[in-house]
Structure 1
Amino acid sequence: MAALSAALFVMPASAQETEAEDATNRLGTVTVTARKVEENLQDVPVSVTAFTGELLAEKGVVEVADIAAFTPGFTTREANSNSTALVFSLRGQLQNDVLATLDPSVGTYVDDVYWARAYGLNFNLLDMESVQVLKGPQGTLFGRNTTGGALVFTSAKPDASAISGKGSVTLGNLNAQVYEGVLNLPVVTDRIAVRAAVRQSNRDGYITDLISGEEYNDRDITNARLKVLIAPHDDVELILSAEVYDEDMNGPGYGTIFGTGLTGAFLAGISPVPPVGPIPVAVPGYTDVVNSSGGDSVALDGDPFLTATAQTYSGVLNWDIGPGTLKLVAGDRRISSRTRTDLDGFAFPAGAGDSLHITTTVLDLSQTSFEAQYAGQGMNDRLQYVMGGTWFEETGFDATLTDLRVVPNPVILRFFGDVDTKSIGLYGQGTYDLTDRLRATVGLRYSEDEKGITTFNGNSIAGSDVFVSCSGGQAPPNCAETYSDTYDDLSYTFGLDFKPTANTLVYGKFSHGYRSGGQNLRLNGTADLDFDPETVDEFEAGFKGDLADNRVRFNVSAFTNKVKDAQRSIIVVVGSGNATVVQNAAEMTNTGLELEATVIPAEGWTLQGSAAVIDTSYDEYVDAGQDVSDRRIIGVPESEFALAATYERPLSFAKFMARIDYAWRDSYYNNELAPSAPASTPALQEAITAPASDVLNARLGLSFENGWDVSLWGRNILDDRSKLTGLYLGNFGYVSGRFREPATYGVTASYRFGAE
Structure 2
Amino acid sequence: MKSTYTNSRKTLCALAVSAAIFGPVTASAQEEQEALDSAGLERIEVTARKTVENLQEVPVAVTSIGSEELATNGIEVLTEVQQFSPNTTLQRSRGTNSTITAFIRGVGQQDPLWGYEPGVGIYVDDVYIARPQGAVLDLLDVERIEVLRGPQGTLYGKNTIGGAIKYVTKEMSGDAELNIQGTIGSYSQADIKATGQLPVIDDMLYLGFGIASLQRDGFGEYLQVDPQLGDQDKENYNKDVVAGRLTLEFRPSDDLFFRLNYDKTEDESNSKGGYRLLPSILTDAPVPDSVYDSYTSLPTWNKVELEGYSLTANWDISATSSLKYTFADRESYSPTNIDFDNTPLRIFDVPAIYDDEQTTHELQFNNIGDNHKFVAGLYYYDAESCGQFEAILEVLGNALGAPGLTREVSGCSNGTSKAAYAQLTYDLTEQFSVTAGGRYTKDEKDAIVNNGLVFATVYPESGWIDGYVRPEGDLVPTVLDDSDDWSKFTPRLGVEYQATDDMMFFASFAQGFKSGTFNPRAQTAEPAADPENVDSYEVGMKAEWLNNALRTNVTLFSLDHKDRQYISVLPGADSTQLNQRLGNIGSSEAEGVEAEISWQATQDLRFDLALGYIDSDFSEVIDTDLEGNTFDKSDRFTISNTPEYTFNFAANYTLVTGLGDFVFNGNYYYRDDYVLFEEDSLLTQDGYGIVNLSVNWFSNEGSWYAGLHVKNLTDEEYLIGGYQFVTPDPSDPGNTDLYTPGLGGDNTLIGYYGDPQTISLTVGYNF
User: Shorter-chain TM-score category?
Assistant: 0.7 to 0.9
Provide the rounded CA distance (Å) in 2 between the counterparts of 1:695 and 1:529: 45
Provide the rounded CA distance (Å) in 1 between the counterparts of 2:313 and 2:749: 50
- Equivalent pairs, count: 685
* 1:309 has 2:305 as partner: yes
Q: Relative to structure 1, is the Cα distance of residues 483 and 22 closer, same or farther in structure 2, using a 3 angstrom cutoff?
A: farther
For 1:546, which of 544, 563, 567 is the aligned residue?
544
Q: Relative to structure 1, is the Cα distance of residues 569 and 464 closer, same or farther in structure 2, using a 3 angstrom cutoff?
A: closer
Shift of 1:645: 0.7
Contact 1:157 1:227 in 2 (8 A): no
Shift of 1:297: 2.2
Contact 1:141 1:428 in 2 (8 A): yes
Contact 2:671 2:689 in 1 (8 A): yes
Shift of 1:195: 1.0
Shift of 1:38: 0.7
Shift of 1:165: 2.2
Q: What TM-score do you get using the length of structure 2 for normalisation?
A: 0.86
User: Within 5 A, what are the aligned runs for 1:93-172?
Assistant: 93-160=107-174, 162-172=175-185
User: Within 5 A, what are the aligned runs for 1:284-299?
Assistant: 286-289=283-286, 291=287, 293-299=289-295
Provide the rounded CA distance (Å) in 2 between the counterparts of 1:476 and 1:122: 34
2:737 paired residue number: none
| Structure 1 stretch displaced more, 296-305 or 594-603 | 296-305
1:247 paired residue number: 267
Contact 2:117 2:514 in 1 (8 A): yes
Q: Relative to structure 1, is the Cα distance of residues 623 and 305 closer, same or farther in structure 2, using a 3 angstrom cutoff?
A: farther
2:676 paired residue number: 670
Code of the residue aligned with 1:309 in structure 2: it is E
SS at structure 2 position matched to 1:585: strand
* 1:228 has 2:248 as partner: yes
User: Within 5 A, what are the aligned runs for 1:378-417?
Assistant: 378=369, 381-405=370-394, 406=396, 407-408=399-400, 409=402, 410-417=404-411
Contact 1:571 1:672 in 2 (8 A): no
Shift of 1:460: 0.7
Shift of 1:301: 2.5
Shift of 1:573: 5.5
Shift of 1:208: 2.1
SS at structure 1 position matched to 2:155: helix
For 1:456, which of 434, 450, 454 is the aligned residue?
450
| Structure 1 stretch displaced more, 566-575 or 337-346 | 566-575
* 1:376 has 2:367 as partner: yes
Shift of 1:572: 5.2
- RMSD (Å) for aligned C-alpha atoms: 2.3
For 1:318, which of 307, 311, 314 is the aligned residue?
314
For 1:356, which of 347, 368, 378 is the aligned residue?
347
Shift of 1:159: 2.4
SS at structure 2 position matched to 1:305: coil
Provide the rounded CA distance (Å) in 2 between the counterparts of 1:579 and 1:220: 37
Moved over 4 A (4+): 16-24, 569-575, 577-581
2:707 paired residue number: 711
User: Within 5 A, what are the aligned runs for 1:335-350?
Assistant: 335-347=332-344
2:512 paired residue number: 513
Q: Deviations over 1:395-433 (max 9, x none)?
A: 142112110020435311111012211110000000000
Q: Relative to structure 1, is the Cα distance of residues 465 and 747 closer, same or farther in structure 2, using a 3 angstrom cutoff?
A: closer
Provide the rounded CA distance (Å) in 1 between the counterparts of 2:450 and 2:419: 31
Contact 2:283 2:343 in 1 (8 A): no
2:467 paired residue number: none
| Structure 1 stretch displaced more, 398-407 or 39-48 | 398-407
| Structure 1 stretch displaced more, 562-571 or 59-68 | 562-571
Q: Relative to structure 1, is the Cα distance of residues 529 and 736 closer, same or farther in structure 2, using a 3 angstrom cutoff?
A: farther
Provide the rounded CA distance (Å) in 1 between the counterparts of 2:512 and 2:290: 41
Code of the residue aligned with 1:714 in structure 2: it is V
SS at structure 1 position matched to 2:187: coil
Shift of 1:383: 2.1
User: Within 5 A, what are the aligned runs for 1:458-477?
Assistant: 458-463=452-457
| Structure 1 stretch displaced more, 613-622 or 16-25 | 16-25
Q: Relative to structure 1, is the Cα distance of residues 644 and 62 closer, same or farther in structure 2, using a 3 angstrom cutoff?
A: same
Provide the rounded CA distance (Å) in 2 between the counterparts of 1:693 and 1:124: 25
Contact 2:452 2:523 in 1 (8 A): no
Contact 2:408 2:476 in 1 (8 A): no
For structure 2, which runs of at least 5 residues remain unmatched after alignment? 10-33, 226-232, 461-473, 625-629, 727-741
1:440 paired residue number: 434
Q: Deviations over 1:433-461 (max 9, x none)?
A: 00011100000110011000111111111
Shift of 1:578: 4.7
For structure 1, which runs of at least 5 residues remain unmatched after alignment? 1-15, 260-278, 348-353, 467-474, 674-678, 680-684
Provide the rounded CA distance (Å) in 1 between the counterparts of 2:288 and 2:615: 33
User: Within 5 A, what are the aligned runs for 1:631-710?
Assistant: 631-673=637-679, 679=680, 685=681, 687-706=682-701, 707-710=703-706
Shift of 1:554: 0.5
Q: Relative to structure 1, is the Cα distance of residues 740 and 579 closer, same or farther in structure 2, using a 3 angstrom cutoff?
A: farther
Shift of 1:81: 4.7
1:7 paired residue number: none
Shift of 1:300: 2.4
Provide the rounded CA distance (Å) in 1 between the counterparts of 2:480 and 2:292: 43
Code of the residue aligned with 1:344 in structure 2: it is D
Code of the residue aligned with 2:386 in structure 1: it is F
1:729 paired residue number: 725
| Structure 1 stretch displaced more, 203-212 or 398-407 | 203-212
Provide the rounded CA distance (Å) in 2 between the counterparts of 1:554 and 1:251: 43
2:328 paired residue number: 331
Shift of 1:464: 5.6
SS at structure 1 position matched to 2:154: helix
Shift of 1:31: 0.7
* 1:561 has 2:559 as partner: yes
Provide the rounded CA distance (Å) in 1 between the counterparts of 2:688 and 2:513: 33
1:485 paired residue number: 484
Shift of 1:53: 1.1
1:750 paired residue number: 764
Provide the rounded CA distance (Å) in 2 between the counterparts of 1:137 and 1:740: 28
Contact 2:115 2:385 in 1 (8 A): no
Q: Relative to structure 1, is the Cα distance of residues 749 and 478 closer, same or farther in structure 2, using a 3 angstrom cutoff?
A: same
Q: Deviations over 1:230-274 (max 9, x none)?
A: 011110000110001110122311122136xxxxxxxxxxxxxxx
SS at structure 2 position matched to 1:142: coil
Shift of 1:620: 1.4
Q: Deviations over 1:606-649 (max 9, x none)?
A: 11111011111111111233311121111211222121111101
Code of the residue aligned with 2:364 in structure 1: it is Q
Q: Deviations over 1:129-182 (max 9, x none)?
A: 11101111111111111111111111111222x212211110112110000011
Shift of 1:369: 0.5
1:12 paired residue number: none
Provide the rounded CA distance (Å) in 1 between the counterparts of 2:557 and 2:153: 17
Code of the residue aligned with 1:223 in structure 2: it is A
Code of the residue aligned with 2:355 in structure 1: it is D
For 1:536, which of 531, 534, 540 is the aligned residue?
534
1:472 paired residue number: none
1:188 paired residue number: 201
Contact 2:178 2:195 in 1 (8 A): yes
Code of the residue aligned with 2:595 in structure 1: it is L
* 1:418 has 2:412 as partner: yes
| Structure 1 stretch displaced more, 238-247 or 411-420 | 411-420
Identity over aligned pairs, percent: 27
* 1:600 has 2:591 as partner: no
1:11 paired residue number: none
2:503 paired residue number: 504
Q: Relative to structure 1, is the Cα distance of residues 612 and 465 closer, same or farther in structure 2, using a 3 angstrom cutoff?
A: closer
Shift of 1:194: 1.1
1:366 paired residue number: 357
SS at structure 1 position matched to 2:296: coil
Provide the rounded CA distance (Å) in 2 between the counterparts of 1:695 and 1:569: 34
Q: Relative to structure 1, is the Cα distance of residues 198 and 464 closer, same or farther in structure 2, using a 3 angstrom cutoff?
A: closer
Q: Deviations over 1:661-696 (max 9, x none)?
A: 1111112111233xxxxx4xxxxx5x4123323211
Q: Deviations over 1:481-524 (max 9, x none)?
A: 21101011000001100011100000000011111111000024
